[in-house]
Amino acid sequence: MIVSNGASVSGGVRGGAGSKVSLTVADAQAIEQDAFSVIIAAPSVNSLAQVIRGNSNWQSRIYGAGNDYLRARDWPVVSGRGFSEQEERSPAKLAIIGQTIVKKLFPDVDPIGQAMRIKNVPFTIIGTLTSKGEIPFGGDQDNVIFVPIATAKGRIIGGNRFRGSYIQEITVKAASSDLVARAEREVTEILRGRHRINPGKLDDFRVRNLTQLMDARAQSERTMSLLLASVAGISLLVGGIGIMNIMLVSVTERTREIGLRMAVGAKRKDILLQFVTEAVAVSLIGGFIGIAIGLGGSVVAAQIGDWPIVSSPGAAMLAIGFSAFVGIFFGYYPAYKASRLDPITALRRE
């Protein structure tokens, strides 16, 4: 969960979210100590800033936060080290950087121990983080730099907005997914008590339960899956009807051939098998062409968007199997019709 500052109210006019700074480091400590469902409550501040190394520069989001924030996000240090307790409490000019910063500013050297500047303040890099990638709605999670919170407030963010012990956010981690709702209630009760908010009054903070965002995302993905399945189903239906029409035309054009085969000893099941096999062959050819187009399109999209590709052999086999099923399902009726022809009538057909 993310606990952020609420909206200010002045003369009946409400400001936007975060316009009233009410959260403090002591609030985070109280949540971690008194909320039984919470295992981590990490205070933080953040801001965008330009990062410079030599002749290179890059805009990144700078977080003033400690190791607890990284633990709450399940974000381990992959090389180097994290902050010590003394460094977290002091305005040390040390930084832990994300993988995007490594690629943009340190592509040819190990960044550990290297120097960079944030708003012209020199920092020494002590660690790098594992890659988290992009979020679904855009935004690079690896384009981040972590510095001690005292350093961020005193040297990077500046101003009086987060003076003293005031902070921007508290990242809260519940003991388990089953306790998230309980943790949300406990956090709300603790903060209302600490901020002396009377019953019926609006909170001067906001608690965002990220599981709700996950549920909304899962619902949108289910909706999209149903939409894609509907489109695929319509495509299969149209393709199957096309195969059926082709086979019906084929039966009509080859009526004398069918009659001749039956006259020289072919049984009804032989005619049935012949035309079902032809329908399956047509469908499988289309399936293989579709797989080739899909793989080729994925390669092109990956090269244009610089995205990784994972090709699933199981999905390809499933596509082939579905193609065979469509051929059997829609090809059976024309094949059955061909097998029920009377040999004498078929031989007389011009």
Radius of gyration of the chain from Cα atoms? Answer: 33
Query: What is residue 47's predicted lDDT score, i.e. its pLDDT?
Result: 92
- Is the model's pLDDT at 38 over the cut of 90? yes
Give the other-Cβ count within 10 Å of 233's Cβ.
10
Query: What is residue 178's predicted lDDT score, i.e. its pLDDT?
Result: 86
The helix (run of H) or strand (run of E) holding residue 239 is helix 210-253
User: Tokens representing 97?
Assistant: 């950087």
Give the other-Cβ count within 10 Å of 3's Cβ.
24
Location of structure tokens 């599981």:
211
157 DSSP assignment: I
Nearest residue to 61 via CA among 10, 100, 92 = 100
Query: What is residue 305's predicted lDDT score, i.e. its pLDDT?
Result: 76
Residue 170's pLDDT band (cuts 50, 70, 90): very high
Whether 154 contacts 91, CB under 8 Å: yes
Query: What is residue 148's predicted lDDT score, i.e. its pLDDT?
Result: 94
Query: What is residue 311's predicted lDDT score, i.e. its pLDDT?
Result: 82
Nearest residue to 99 via CA among 80, 114, 78 = 78
pTM of the model: 0.66
> Which tens digits make up the pLDDT trace of 110-161?
999 999 999 889 999 999 999 988 776 667 899 999 999 999 988 888 667 7
- Is the model's pLDDT at 9 over the cut of 80? no
Cβ-based neighbours of 335, under 8 Å, separated by 6 or more = 247, 251, 271, 272, 273, 274, 275, 276, 279
- Is the model's pLDDT at 323 over the cut of 90? no
Give the C-alpha separation, 93 to 91, whole Å.
6
Q: Long-range contact list for 194-201, CB < 8 A, 24+ apart?
A: 194/26, 194/27, 194/30, 195/22
Out of 6-20, 201-215, 256-270, least confident range:
6-20
The more confident residue out of 15 and 178 is: 178
Whether 49 contacts 94, CB under 8 Å: no
Report which residue type is found at 286: G
> Which tens digits make up the pLDDT trace of 254-290?
888 888 888 888 898 998 999 899 989 988 998 899 8
User: Tokens representing 104?
Assistant: 């943009």
Query: What is residue 10's predicted lDDT score, i.e. its pLDDT?
Result: 57
Query: What is residue 93's predicted lDDT score, i.e. its pLDDT?
Result: 94
Location of structure tokens 């084929």:
250
- Is the model's pLDDT at 11 over the cut of 60? no
Give the C-alpha separation, 88 to 252, whole Å.
84
Query: What is residue 344's predicted lDDT score, i.e. its pLDDT?
Result: 82
**Parallel/antiparallel/unpaired status of strands 144-147 and 94-97:** antiparallel
Query: What is residue 3's predicted lDDT score, i.e. its pLDDT?
Result: 92
Give the C-alpha separation, 76 to 95, whole Å.
14
